[in-house]
Amino acid sequence: MATDRDDRRSTDDHGHDVIDPLYVGIVTVSSSRAQADDAGSEPDDPGGDTIQECFEAEGHEVQERLLVRDDYSSIRTAVRGLVARRDIDVVVTTGGTGVTTDDVSPEATSSLFERDLPGFGERFRALSWEEIGTRTIASRATAGIAVDTPVFCIPGSTGACQTACEQLIVPESPHLAGLATRHQAAGETQ
C-alpha cells in the first residue's frame, strides 16, 4: 500500500524526484508572542502568516504551526517533533536568527541536521543584501536535512520570510523533499 507521501511523489520535467504538494510545518520562535499565547491572548504571527501564504499560494498545505520561546530546548524539541512526522515534508522556523544572546534558532535546528545546505544561507544573504544592505551580515539563516526532511531557519521579519520563501524555499522544497526521501520510495532499495 502506498503511503500518502508516495501518492504525492513524481518527477519534474528534468526527471528529478519531487513531492508535490508539500505538507509543511512552521515554527515561530518568539518569547513575546509565546508569552501572549500563554496569557490566553491570540498572538499575532506575521512571519508565520507570510510563510503559510507563500506555500499555500503554490498549492502546498500547512499541517502544523507551532509557537515557541527563544529557547534552545523548546526550538529543538518542536523541530525534532515535526521532522519525525510522516505527514511533514518540510519545516520552516522563523525568528531567532540574529546575534542577541537569545537568538539560538540556528544552533537548535542545526544540531538536528544530518546534512547541511550551506547554499541556502549564502543565497538568502545575497538576496537580502539588495533589500537591507550591510545589515545582512547579522543574519544567521541556515538550512539542512534532518530525518530526511528539509529544514529552513529564517529571520522573523515579514520581508525576510517573503524573500526566503518566494525566491528560495517554496520553489526548491519539492525537489529537496523528493531527493531527501528518495530512498523511502515504494519498491526502491538503497
pLDDT single digits (tens) 47-56: 999 999 999 9
Contact assessment for residue 47 and residue 94, using Cβ atoms and an 8 Å cutoff: yes
pLDDT digits (tens, 9 = 90+) for 61-74: 999 999 999 999 99
Q: State whether residue 116 is helix, strand or coil.
A: strand
The hierarchical CATH code for the domain 22-181 is 3.40.980.10
DSSP string, 138-176: G---EEEEETTEEEEEE-SSHHHHHHHIIIIIHHHHHHH
Q: What is the pLDDT of residue 37?
A: 59
Model pTM score: 0.91
Model confidence pLDDT, tens digit, residues 135-181? 989 999 999 999 999 999 999 999 999 999 999 999 999 999 999 98
Model confidence over 72-90: pLDDT tens digits? 999 999 999 999 999 999 9
